[in-house]
Amino acid sequence: GFLKGLQGSHTCLRRGVVTEAQALANRGKDDDHGPGDQEGFEAVQQERLAQAERSVLISCHSKTNEKRFLKYLSLHGDIQNSFFYDSYGTYAVVEFASPESVASLHKAVSIPAVNHESLVPFKSRLLSLRSLGAADRPTGQTGPQCRPQTAVPMNELIQTLSQEETIDQQVTCLTAAFQLTEENTRLRFLVCSLLRDIAASYFPECNVRPFGSSVNGFGKLGCDLDMFLDLDGISGRSLKMPNAGLALEYQMKRCNSERAVTQSILSVVGECVDRFGPGCVGVQKILNARCPLVRVAMKTSELLHLYGRLDGRVRGLVFAVRCWARAHAITSSVPGAWITNFSLTVMVLFFLQRRPAPVIPTLDHLHSLAGPADKSVIEGNDCTFVSDLSRITLQDNTETLEQLLRGFFDFYGSFQFGRMSISIRKGTEQNKPEVAPLHIQNPFETSLNVSKNVNGTQLDRFVALCQDAAWHLEQSAAGAPSAPPPQRGADTAPAPWGLAALLLPSQTAGVKGRRKQKRELASVRLKGLLESLKKNNNR
Ligand code: CTP
Ligand code: MG
């Protein structure tokens, strides 16, 4: 609900503070058909997965007659929701009201006729629409409206932002343009559920669940989809053995470690996806990756989601900072020594905790407010925090997004990275427990450094770019033009200013020439790519 609230009403953020209470008040007004926030994070996830399991994905003609198509499908039961999108062809996602409808539909789906090839006989919920009779052929009229699934390109965004009147509006506009849409979220859960079907051939009790930015409220259209193959549902483990008499237990294959079990399961599931999964190509198995405990990462996603809901400015600031970081290649889609989006998000949260009137509370405080039902300890890590937002009292902070954005750049432009560690658990700088250029404590696995991968060069660039951005925002606040002389074409697009100007590459050239900087960025990227390939090959 809140997601839409932010999208639909610019005025909320313009006023400065949007609290959960206000968001609650706005909730009745939007027509969001996704599960609501008020149900609690876990319940929403379950509902979305159930929704996905009642859904089918159908490849169809771009001129498909939507009405006729839906009427045909509704022969199998009521349709709860449907939409079309374009991605190398037109697709429809159709959610039935009942899972029986999918079973009924499956009975009516035929196997394609092929001449010179053979088929892998795996039936999934990825289908193709064929129009047989003349009456059913696409008629050449406009087809169904497709929902966009990618974010607007940077240059378009810069133009759009430049038309806004305040930096606060720019941040709100950027958030609305980048955040995951209801449809995109549905697609993400559908992917999980389609993969589950494949894994379930071996492990019928398994679940595939998304985590990370797909569900934590900070996802951008096009961000990766982090998934977790959950086998804990496997029944019987919790059954108590009787004290006397006979009992049966399963014979099971044993491995040396849990890691070895995970690797062998993922290896087989990966192979099945590659060989049997319709539409699945180019599967690469990276089985040796070191990753934090996924269960803890699920709790982290829930925590970030909570922080995002506490105050509307949190998401706005995170989206703005992430976008700025991407524009200047502080972050990258290639793994390497870069700061990640996740690290940046934690840095924004920490900054918001460090305001004179903190915008959000510390994790320790959220822990102290937790009720008995919130208790969660995962492999010795205490992941307990309050889930009932009404127990949280926020401080009175009325700073605008513009002030906060400037504050962020000031804060990290002069942060004592050499000595200090960032901890959202404590909400204050901590002495660095180990040598690393950037130390950000993992909120739940407190001995881990979230940004262990970041090298000194990348941190220095980040700091320099923060100082640059702070300077530009200060200039702009003082009334000086923040942008270079506008290079206008024939059109009368307004010159980039404020946040839009911060996204321009030329703004960061600083002492270096623009071309030189570009060349350097390209070579850093290439180096990272080579390193990550090397690492994968060594695995
Ligand atoms: N994670 C973590 N420690 C890390 C990296 C990741 O705990 N060093 C967890 C976080 O919960 C994170 C999730 O794994 O949200 C997924 O990681 P990643 O895909 O890198 O981050 P996202 O938050 O999903 O952001 P992005 O949009 O860039 O994918
Ligand atoms: Mg991710």
Return d(Cα 38, Cα 56) in angstroms, integer: 27
Tell me if 301 CB under 6 Å of ligand 1. yes
| Per-residue pLDDT at 38 | 60
Task: Answer yes or no: is pLDDT of 13 > 50.
Answer: no
| Matching residue, tokens 């039936």 | 123
Q: Say which range, 12-16, 280-284, 332-336, has the weakest mean pLDDT.
A: 12-16
Q: How confident is the model at residue 360 (pLDDT cuts 50, 70, 90)?
A: very high
Closest residue (by CA) to atom 12 of ligand 1? 212
Residue to substitute in 293, 315, 342 for testing ligand 1 pocket (most ligand atoms within 8 angstroms of CB): 342
Closest residue (by CA) to atom 5 of ligand 1? 450
Tell me if 442 CB under 6 Å of ligand 1. yes
> Greater confidence, 1 or 505?
505
Task: Answer yes or no: is pLDDT of 235 > 80.
Answer: no
Task: Answer yes or no: is pLDDT of 6 > 50.
Answer: no
Whether the predicted interface score ipTM is above 0.90: yes
| Per-residue pLDDT at 12 | 28
Q: Which atom of ligand 1 is nearest to the CA of 300?
A: 11
| Per-residue pLDDT at 492 | 72
Return d(Cα 223, Cα 367) in angstroms, integer: 30
Return d(Cα 205, Cα 231) in angstroms, integer: 7
Return d(Cα 46, Cα 68) in angstroms, integer: 32
How crowded is the C-beta side of 440, counted as CA atoms within 13 Å? Answer: 23
Query: C-alpha distances in angstroms, 377 versus 7, 205, 282, 307, 381?
Result: 36, 23, 37, 20, 5
DSSP assigned state of 214: G
| Per-residue pLDDT at 508 | 46
Centre of ligand 2 from the C-alpha of residue 405, in Å: 24
> Greater confidence, 137 or 487?
137
| Per-residue pLDDT at 28 | 37
The 10s digit of each residue's pLDDT in 160-203 is 999 999 999 999 999 999 999 999 999 999 999 999 999 999 99
In percent, the amount of the chain with pLDDT more than 90 equals 72
Query: How many CB atoms lie under 10 A from the CB of residue 197?
Result: 17
Q: How confident is the model at residue 356 (pLDDT cuts 50, 70, 90)?
A: very high
Centre of ligand 2 from the C-alpha of residue 334, in Å: 12
Closest residue (by CA) to atom 15 of ligand 1? 212
Concatenating the DSSP letter of every residue in 49-85 gives HHHHHTEEEEEE-TT--HHHHHHHHGGGS-EEEEEEE
Give the residue from 10, 326, 330 showing the smallest Cα distance to 157: 326
| Per-residue pLDDT at 347 | 98
Q: Which atom of ligand 1 is nearest to the CA of 220?
A: 27
Residues 360/352, Cβ–Cβ less than 8 Å:
yes
Tell me if 341 CB under 6 Å of ligand 1. yes
| Per-residue pLDDT at 135 | 62
Q: Which atom of ligand 1 is nearest to the CA of 341?
A: 28
Centre of ligand 1 from the C-alpha of residue 305, in Å: 13
Q: Which atom of ligand 1 is nearest to the CA of 449?
A: 8
The 10s digit of each residue's pLDDT in 107-143 is 999 999 999 999 999 999 999 999 877 666 666 677 8
Which of 3-7, 34-38, 108-112 ranks highest by mean pLDDT?
108-112
Q: Say which range, 43-57, 94-108, 411-425, 517-531, has the weakest mean pLDDT.
A: 517-531
Centre of ligand 2 from the C-alpha of residue 226, in Å: 5
Tell me if 178 CB under 6 Å of ligand 1. no
What the block records as the tokens of 216 is 């934590």
Q: State the ligand closest to the CA atom of 340.
A: 1
Query: C-alpha distances in angstroms, 350 versus 123, 345, 383?
Result: 48, 9, 18
| Per-residue pLDDT at 533 | 58
Backbone angles phi, psi at 524, to 5 degrees: -65, -45
Residue to substitute in 209, 215, 226 for testing ligand 1 pocket (most ligand atoms within 8 angstroms of CB): 226
Residues 360/353, Cβ–Cβ less than 8 Å:
yes
| Per-residue pLDDT at 491 | 61
Return d(Cα 220, Cα 11) in angstroms, integer: 22
Give the residue from 309, 321, 430, 410 showing the smallest Cα distance to 21: 309
Task: Answer yes or no: is pLDDT of 510 > 50.
Answer: no
Return d(Cα 180, Cα 183) in angstroms, integer: 8
Task: Answer yes or no: is pLDDT of 415 > 60.
Answer: yes
Closest residue (by CA) to atom 28 of ligand 1? 341
